[in-house]
Amino acid sequence: MTLMNAESYRESLRKRKPLKVWLDGKLLENPIDHPYIKASINTVALTYELAHDPEFKPLMTATSALTGETVNRFCHLHQNTQDLMNKVKMQRLLGQRCGTCFQRCVGMDALNAVFATTFDMDKKLGTTYHERFKSFAKAMEQNDWIVDGAMTDPKGDRGLRPAEQPDKDVYLRVVEQRPDGIVVRGAKAHQTGAVNSHQILVMPTVSMKSDEGEFAVAFSVAADAEGISYIYGRQSCDERKLADDEASDIDSGSSCYGGQEALIVFDDVFVPSENVYMNGETEFAGLLVDRFASYHRQSYGGCKVGKGDVAIGAAASIAELNGVTKASHVKDKIVEMNHLNETLFSCGIACSANGAKMPAGNFLVDPLLANVCKQNVTRLPYEIARLLQDIAGGLMVTLPSARDWLNPETAGILEKYFAGAAGSDTRLRIRMLRLIENLTMGRGAVAYLTESMHGAGSPQAQRILIGRLANVEEKKVYAKALAMNNSLVTVEAAIREGLAKVRGGKKA
């Protein structure tokens, strides 16, 4: 079964052993039917369903480099820069369709990062991780798995290294080496789509020093493996989704779809050797982290743009419903929102177009441009959201409950006083305002805004990499050569000489 559809995906979740999922203080009996989780499963299911749509198949699928078969792009090893660009376009498409997080990108990004890094590790250290990981990659394609890429450790005291923590478990670690595998303990935080996954692909969270081998670990494990439990994350206004009725649908703002985050706890989980892809090779932990981060920072140049398209559509719609489409400042704000959104898309496309082949054969995005992409993502969606709230007006946060709209005693009053543009549909206006609330302050804001800030690394992480990758020494060569020379011949000679020195490792 290479390409599942939405229905077979839902069935595949039911076939897992019962997951241990805690939500709101209770252990869930049947996690996948909980209203929060059901909505988040609908979102993931889109990634399966659209792969069968003739219109979207070229974006949603790819030809496997491992078997030559058609596979879902989320399970694909990128073979060229077109693949990288198609990934971003696919993410924009899905963001437009659901307006929230479709949860499947972390697995795709982890797949490509671990594939490349195990290859490099084997070459340098003589280990045999790559072939093992290739088997996993094939199984991921063949089973059309959702793989939860798991990187972020809770980290405890940020001022201490992993081994210095009073409780070392705040960094996931190997607690026992056995002849046939390892035993791991710890947790991974903010795990997008964790409960909706088939497999978890764990990676180290930061680069490691040579004496931090116990934390330099990468492996895959089934989501329903013994010793794994999940504690479900809360989202702003999530209780509006609890009751299964029309009022909840209206007040939740976007009732069909939702995102999902959870803390995954690994309580002495045994991982057989064939599923271990790093076990103490500290010098490769940082490379794996950087590659995953680059891919995931590229991802945001697609997914946030799709959600931005929904935000812009909501701005234009509420302007119509409020009767302000002719106001020049409103038109200008919508132009600005588009400008910002397309700037993010440009970054996603640029880092993809400038990607390069790695020794393992798959392609990596341009890391500098991917970090610039994500740095912009930490800012521009907030400005888009600010403009959206500006256009929406204060009613977005003062609207009475949908239950008042559905109550015959108050419905008429609300229809009368909350009517918008002449002839417009007041109920649509209400729903549009709720969607805007969802996107900018509610459940959808997790995927559109807060994740834009902290997902794929907080802003400072990108600034460190931009500082490291931007090659300021070469830029100084250009500036000095232009400032110091007064002939065309010497200026060019100075540039060449300066660049040669810089590239030889010396300062110009």
**Site pattern 419..458 for ligand SF4 (x: CB under 6 A):** ----------------------------x---x---x---
Q: Report how far residue 486's alpha carbon sits from residue 109's, in angstroms, rounded to the nearest whole number.
A: 50
Is 320 catalytic? The answer is no
Q: Report how far residue 383's alpha carbon sits from residue 275's, in angstroms, rounded to the nearest whole number.
A: 43
Task: Give Rg (Cα) of the chain.
Answer: 25
Give whichever of 45 and 106 is closer to ligand SF4, judged by the CB atom. 106
Window of 70-78, 99-107, 239-247, 280-288 that interacts with ligand SF4 by CB under 6 A: 99-107
Record the tokens describing residue 38, joined without a space: 């059901």
Give whichever of 35 and 444 is closer to ligand SF4, judged by the CB atom. 444
Given 49, 141, 214, 261, the catalytic residue: 261
Given 34, 130, 190, 296, the catalytic residue: 296
Q: Report how far residue 430's alpha carbon sits from residue 446's, in angstroms, rounded to the nearest whole number.
A: 22
Between residue 105 and residue 164, which ones bind ligand SF4 under the rule CB under 6 A?
Answer: 105-106
Q: Report how far residue 43's alpha carbon sits from residue 97's, in angstroms, rounded to the nearest whole number.
A: 9
Distances, alpha carbon 167 to alpha carbons 154, 171, 185, 216, 433, in Å: 11, 9, 11, 17, 46
Interface with Fe ion includes 355 (CB under 5 A)? Answer: no
Q: How far is the CB of 456 from ligand SF4 (least distance, A)?
A: 7
Q: How far is the CB of 193 from ligand SF4 (least distance, A)?
A: 7
Phi, psi of 380 (to 5 degrees): -65, -40
- Any residues with CB less than 8 A from the CB of 460 and at least 6 apart, and which? none
Is 417 catalytic? The answer is no
In the list 13, 101, 201, 206, the residue contacting ligand SF4 (rule: CB under 6 A) is 101
Is 192 catalytic? The answer is yes
**Partner in contact with 275, chosen from Fe ion, ligand SF4, none, beta carbon below 5 to 8 Å by kind:** none
Size of the site for ligand SF4 (CB under 6 A): 12
- In 179-260 the beta strands, taken as DSSP E runs, fall at 181-192, 199-202, 217-222, 228-232
**CA of residue 52 relative to chain centroid, distance:** 23
Is 451 catalytic? The answer is yes
Q: Which residue has the tokens 């020379």?
A: 485
**Site pattern 280..299 for ligand SF4 (x: CB under 6 A):** -------------------x
Give whichever of 174 and 370 is closer to ligand SF4, judged by the CB atom. 370
Q: How far is the CB of 101 from ligand SF4 (least distance, A)?
A: 3
Record the tokens describing residue 109, joined without a space: 């990004």
Nearest to 440 by CA among 389, 478, 369: 389
Cβ neighbour number for residue 259 with a 10 Å cutoff: 26
Give whichever of 31 and 348 is closer to ligand SF4, judged by the CB atom. 348
In the list 455, 465, 481, 508, the residue contacting Fe ion (rule: CB under 5 A) is 455
Record the tokens describing residue 190, joined without a space: 């903010």
Using a 10 angstrom Cβ sphere, with 0-12 exposed, 13-18 middle and 19 or more buried, the burial of residue 142 is middle
Given 171, 295, 300, 448, the catalytic residue: 300
Residues at the interface with Fe ion (CB under 5 A): 455
Residues at the interface with ligand SF4 (CB under 6 A): 101-103, 105-106, 192, 299-300, 303, 447, 451, 455
Active-site amino acid positions? 101, 105, 192, 261, 296, 300, 303, 451
